[in-house]
Homo-oligomer: A and B are copies of this chain.
Amino acid sequence: MDLQEYLPFWQDLTAHQRAVLSRSVTKRTVPEGTLLHSGADDCVGLFLVLHGMLRAYMVSQEGREVTLYRLLERDICLFSAGCMLNSVDFDIYVEAVQETEFLHIPTDVYQKFMQDSLPVARYTNELMASRFSDVMWLLDQVLNKKLDSRLAAFLLEESDLQGTPVISITQETIARHLGTAREVVTRLLRYMAAEELITLSRGQVAIKDLKKLETLAADSRR
């Protein structure tokens, strides 16, 4: 495991700290759909993605999900160890969107480092600021964009992530990402298909008119 390659603070750790970290970090691979972290009671530790993709989301009282951010290669999930910070009082869920290989750093190990090492504490500040920015972006979207525009932006992002204009995704999954009901997504997708922005088939959404979709994503505001 090339920890020095993934952890920017590695070079600033003492030999003892490096030994502790190397001993406690484990590499794991989980299949698509695995729930890695579930709410506040569960404080399993940090996940550093090597391959694949994790999704962090929150769940409303009625069980509706909304995606907060997605973690790709080299990204670190901090809030699955949220109990390290006294001031964290929200629940986050983390699941593997596809088969994912990741490094797991136990909460107590990282917490000790955060208390002892200035470079780790500073790194944690940047990590949190980065996720904060993700959530502020989402808040801006939710407050200021209509759902059709958020859906267009989501399809473009998903197409980028999958590296193809033909996106493999169910309407149920899209609804969970956007924090809305499947029926609402179905209605919007049908509308977009009628407008020839996309074509629909079972389990797939194909981008047909990229330019129009980009326009919709950019400026259709409430």
| A contact set with B: CB distance below 8 Å | 58, 60-62, 64, 66, 82, 85-90, 114-118, 121-122, 124-133, 135-140, 142-144, 179, 221
Q: How far is the CB of A149 from chain B (nearest CB, A)?
A: 12
Considering the complex, give the chain B residue whose CB is closest to the CB of A90.
Answer: B136
Considering the complex, give the chain B residue whose CB is closest to the CB of A115.
Answer: B122
Which of B87, B125, B179 is A85 in contact with, Cβ under 8 Å? B125
In the bound complex, do residue B89 and residue A133 qualify as a contact, i.e. CB atoms below 8 Å apart? yes
Q: How far is the CB of A222 from chain B (nearest CB, A)?
A: 8
User: How many chain copies does the complex carry?
Assistant: 2
Which of B66, B88, B221 is A62 in contact with, Cβ under 8 Å? B221
In the bound complex, do residue A142 and residue B143 qualify as a contact, i.e. CB atoms below 8 Å apart? yes
Which of B90, B114, B142 is A125 in contact with, Cβ under 8 Å? B114
Which of B60, B87, B121, B144 is A129 in contact with, Cβ under 8 Å? B87
Q: How far is the CB of A182 from chain B (nearest CB, A)?
A: 15
In the bound complex, do residue B137 and residue A139 qualify as a contact, i.e. CB atoms below 8 Å apart? no
Using A118-B121, A122-B115 as known contacts, say yes or no to A87 and B143 having CB atoms under 8 A apart.
no
Q: For A88, list chain B residues within 8 Å (CB).
A: 129, 132-133
Using A66-B143, A139-B142, A179-B143 as known contacts, say yes or no to A133 and B60 having CB atoms under 8 A apart.
no
